[in-house]
Structure 1
Amino acid sequence: MSVSVSSLWFMVLFSFVLSYGEASHQIYRNLESIPSSSSQDQPYRTGYHFQPPKNWMNGPMIYKGLYHLFYQYNPYGAVWGNIVWAHSTSKDLINWVPHPIAIFPSQPSDINGCWSGSATLIPMGKDIVPHILYTGINKANQQVQNLALPKNLSDPYLIEWVKVPQNPLMAPTSANQINASSFRDPTTAWRVRGEWRVIIGNKKNRRGKAILYRSKDFTTWAEAKHPLHSSPKTGMWECPDFYPVSTSSQVGLDTSFVGKGTKHILKVSLDDKKHDYYYIGNYIPKNDTFIPDGETIESVPGLRYDYGKYYASKTFYDSVKHARILWGWVNESSSTADDIKKGWSGIQAIPRTVWLDKSGKQVIQWPIQEVEELRGENPSITMGPDLESGSRIEITRITSAQADVEAVFGISDFKMAEAFDPSWTDPQLLCSQKGTTVKGGLGPFGLLVLASDKLEEYTAVFFRVFKSQEKYVVLLCSDQSRSSLNGDNDKTTYGAFVDVDPIDHSVVESFGGLGKAVITARVYPTLAIGDKAHLYAFNYGSETVTINRLYAWSMKNAKLH
């Protein structure tokens, strides 16, 4: 099929602050209790991404009008270890108030740590009772599943939690042969035909599994004969997530919803790859199986929420907005030694609304609308200028170190688009090979963010357009190779192919691609800090690109702690 395109638009939304934002269980026994330095007045702390005041962090829910974020936290150091459940609440998912630690080691079933888990809201009489299932590490260092309930249901802040005496509710035994060192991260439960279901991440040898359990009372659980799904050679499935999506609407669905016009999303965090992958398919309640659409987990690595630093993500159903909200953890690019010096490690990415694309082939993600409330009143507006080959223009009148940018780039002549080689299947590798300084036909063009005055440091986020036999191929890159003069930082370049479907043969809006591709990065410049950070639009390709419109806002700080 050939497509005649006279003009193509690319819309990309950039939200960044000076430092962009695994359930990684690498324990630093010699470091996990080293006191951290003060985190006050540090240039790399974010202005509106959620992060703890100090130390290391990693299930959200809404209850009585308040959003609750529970997160893994080391109160004694900026590395992974001594894990408890910290707790903050918010009225808008942007401004947060911290509370005392919610869950901490106190029973034989969690005496060595309280790891990841999820909250489920259960109707009980006239009340809705939050139930938290979480992984505990017992005296034998086995991973087991425990239950905690709020002590006072009339308290909307849910300050105190009580663990049930029956803990652990699910555990490895000689009979079930579950790997006791790879049995963690229970999901939000869903209810079908009078029984609750929950899946737990697991691996046996190299086969990743979503082990399924059922219960009628949420206390007595029985393992199903088969997992919800599994896949060979994928390693440990951490932080699984399973939820329904509408095939015809952006409206979110309750986790227990099963019916016509729905698909299900199975997300797994692959411990081996440190990335989140998701699969779209059909859930069969009769036998509790999940069948991925078309290509299966066995034949392809799956789709990714984010092609940068983004892991251990979790969704929840917002019953007030009728939306599915996605949270994800952004780990650091700095060294462990630098994390300890900073006094903290890890942030939460901006919450995103997710829904199924009308094609049914991927989910769409977009920052929650509340983020826009942090925008300054007077945006910098750029409309119409052409970016000729090798040119760049500075975007001024904003705080470039903490900004929100919406940019639409237009191309009218595609004759010089580079030919796309079918062997280019790895977008991250392609972005590394064809970085910011490699001139192409159509691209690279985009933004240089967190740039120093003389461009000794910058992070480039850009597009390249290629022509294959049947369509155009759009590559979205985030190039951190020049992001900092600090040689100890991770400066990986990330990339994603954007699924561009021309609309009316002329317009396509591409968080690149109207939320079809997302890349999150963490950068630590040494020069481009505060008022010394600059923002540029650039075109280093051979063909002219037009800035159809570019809006840039300085972002106000959120109340984070």
Structure 2
Amino acid sequence: MYFNGVYHLFYQYNPYGPLWGNISWGHSISYDLVNWFLLEPALSPNEPYDIKGCLSGSTTILHGPKPIILYTGQDEHSSQLQNLAFPKNLSDPLLKDWVKWSGNPILTPVNDINSGQFRDPSTAWMGPDGKWRIVIGSEINGHGTALLFHSTDGFNWTRSDKPLHFSSETGMWECPDFYPVSNVGKNGSDVSFQGNNTMHVLKASFNGHDYYVMGTYDPKMDRFLVVTNDFRVSNTQFRYDYGRFYASKTFYDSDKKRRVLWGWVNEGDSESDDIKKGWSGLQSFPRSIWLSDTGKQLVQWPVEEIKKLRAKQVNMENRELKGGSLLEVPGITASQVDIEVLFSLSNLNDAELIDSDTFDPPLLCAQKNVSMSRSFGPFGILVLASKNLTEQTAVFFRVFKGPNKFQVLMCSDQTRSSIAQGVDNSIYGAFLDLDPLHEKISLRSLIDHSIVESFGGEGLACITARVYPKLAIHEHAKLYVFNNGTKSLNMSSLNAWNMNKAQIVPMG
């Protein structure tokens, strides 16, 4: 949340080790979303209603303004109960100390709610009747569900007769998020904003991914009408990220008038590796999120403040990349780098044909991998590459001619990312909703040792990968641009920056 000039990040945290357990609410604060101060945990499991963990939840800023935390506690029987906490001292600018309400738990799993499937309350929004609303993730009769609750004061909550939304095709929904997006411009809106030119987004976490749908919301009737494809178990549904990215949450940054998205990026190595290195899991770069120009989907982009870490820059302009080209980006410490590259193609008559517009993208990326040459693709970048390319992570595009349109496929291929055994070597993929005949194909990747966050088509598709190179580390990591297709293409521009380290400082 953003409160009184300070950004607060709360996160699931084990103070005693790198593996799951003793789940508390870690608390860090920042003034720029880049450099952080680590505080003592805001919540620890020490009450009967949360003795087995202070699980996920959200902050809401009540009128006053007064921030509160709504969170799920797990009792000794593993029942999930909703609880409330508030700052001990509102005059403390860092809000270091939080107090659990004496009236906890505020909600318990009753009637048709399974006691182990009732968690992760959302940020509350206010309707025109002056009542607050939240959704809580659940599964009712085998259907993933966003249960809806009302309150007049933020402390006492009543369940609505109907859920905000549910799906008969998915299981349990975790970490639901519900917020408005404008049809005009990139500015975000407070979660309680109601007005013209507004769509609403409902996001749910299930099957290891974060899916979202968009629709119209009637606050008087509490009715959410989905206008995009509804939640289904499908690789072609809208996801925030098509790689490792889960249990995400947005908040409204009232200072910069934007909605910011955070996601948890988990590990792809073993628990013994986590114990050895002493930590596991990380937060994605914070991303601004808004509605695309077409109104069909969301767009994401790293917050502008990330540019503060940029150091030495390398620039290339208007380079022809012939078929089979491999071009090293010189003078870059490629273990920590921000790269933006822009490709333009022409005369797509010879583009590879596919007989459907609805292929499974990861499967297509695996079948048409980085070594399979066709007319237009694969082309892109090799990151965290070692000498002789023994290790490499490829982020690339292919262009196909489908029955109805050209298709741009974006892939992130980790199959050769590490010589280590027992690490994730998945291939991720997504289609970009753009026309390669009339639009350039852009890629931005943020690389930080073991993570590669890639944004295709100016943020139309995002793919986050965890990689564990043994050779391509520190000064031994290299960065390349390549075109393994048979046709030449133009690299309109390339800009790459060494990235300085963010400051992360413990604070007593």
TM range, smaller chain: over 0.9
In structure 1, the residue matched to 2:2 is 62
In structure 1, the residue matched to 2:97 is 160
In structure 2, the residue matched to 1:242 is 178
| Cα distance in 1, alignment partners of residues 411 and 232 from structure 2 | 27
- Does 2:281 align with 1:346? yes
In structure 2, the residue matched to 1:417 is 351
Contact 1:443 1:540 in 2 (8 A): yes
Contact 1:228 1:289 in 2 (8 A): yes
- Does 2:192 align with 1:256? yes
What TM-score do you get using the length of structure 1 for normalisation? 0.86
Q: 1:363 aligns with which of 298, 308, 314?
A: 298
| Cα distance in 2, alignment partners of residues 446 and 259 from structure 1 | 41
| Cα distance in 2, alignment partners of residues 472 and 358 from structure 1 | 19
What's the CA shift string for 1:187-242, capped at 9, x where partnerless?
Answer: 00001111110000001342100001101111111111111000113111000000
Q: After the TM superposition, which residues 429-444 of structure 1 pair with which residues of structure 2 at under 5 Å, given as runs?
A: 429-444=363-378
Q: 1:179 aligns with which of 100, 110, 114?
A: 114
Cα shift at 1:299:
8.8
Cα shift at 1:139:
2.8
SS in 2 for 1:430: helix
Aligned partner of 1:277: which letter? Y
Q: After the TM superposition, which residues 93-492 of structure 1 pair with which residues of structure 2 at under 5 Å, given as runs?
A: 93-124=33-64, 128-173=65-110, 176-192=111-127, 193-270=129-206, 273-297=207-231, 302-376=237-311, 378-422=312-356, 425-492=359-426
| Cα distance in 1, alignment partners of residues 326 and 352 from structure 2 | 22
Aligned partner of 2:225: which letter? I
Cα shift at 1:276:
0.3
Cα shift at 1:355:
0.5
In structure 2, the residue matched to 1:87 is 27
SS in 2 for 1:278: strand
In structure 2, the residue matched to 1:545 is 489
- Does 2:476 align with 1:536? no
User: Which runs of 5 or more structure 1 residues have no equivalent in the other structure?
Assistant: 1-60
Contact 2:62 2:154 in 1 (8 A): no
SS in 1 for 2:275: helix
Contact 2:441 2:456 in 1 (8 A): no
Aligned partner of 2:479: which letter? L
| Cα distance in 2, alignment partners of residues 299 and 331 from structure 1 | 21
Cα shift at 1:415:
2.5
User: Which runs of 5 or more structure 2 residues have no equivalent in the other structure?
Assistant: 444-454
- Does 2:18 align with 1:78? yes
| Cα distance in 2, alignment partners of residues 201 and 406 from structure 1 | 37
Q: Which has the higher contact order (CA 8 A, sep 6+)?
A: 1
Contact 1:424 1:430 in 2 (8 A): no
Cα RMSD (Å) of the superposition? Answer: 1.4
What's the CA shift string for 1:408-430, capped at 9, x where partnerless?
Answer: 11212312210122075210110
SS in 1 for 2:363: helix
Aligned partner of 1:87: which letter? H
Which aligned segments of 4 or more residues in structure 1 are displaced greater than 2 angstroms? 294-302, 505-510
Aligned partner of 1:366: which letter? W
| Cα distance in 2, alignment partners of residues 102 and 447 from structure 1 | 41
Aligned partner of 1:115: which letter? L
Contact 1:112 1:139 in 2 (8 A): yes
| Cα distance in 2, alignment partners of residues 360 and 63 from structure 1 | 30
SS in 1 for 2:349: coil
* Percent identity for Structure 1 against Structure 2: 51
What's the CA shift string for 1:443-469, capped at 9, x where partnerless?
Answer: 000100000011110000000001123
- Does 2:460 align with 1:516? yes
Give the length in aligned residue pairs.
492
Aligned partner of 1:517: which letter? A
Residues 423, 546 of structure 1: CA spacing in aligned structure 2 closer, same or farther, 3 A cutoff? closer
What's the CA shift string for 1:297-322, capped at 9, x where partnerless?
Answer: 25966300110000011000000001
What's the CA shift string for 1:259-301, capped at 9, x where partnerless?
Answer: 211000000001xx20000001011212212111043225966
SS in 2 for 1:140: coil
Contact 1:420 1:473 in 2 (8 A): no
SS in 1 for 2:122: coil
SS in 2 for 1:531: helix
Q: Which moved more, 1:223-232 or 1:420-429?
A: 420-429
Cα shift at 1:471:
1.9
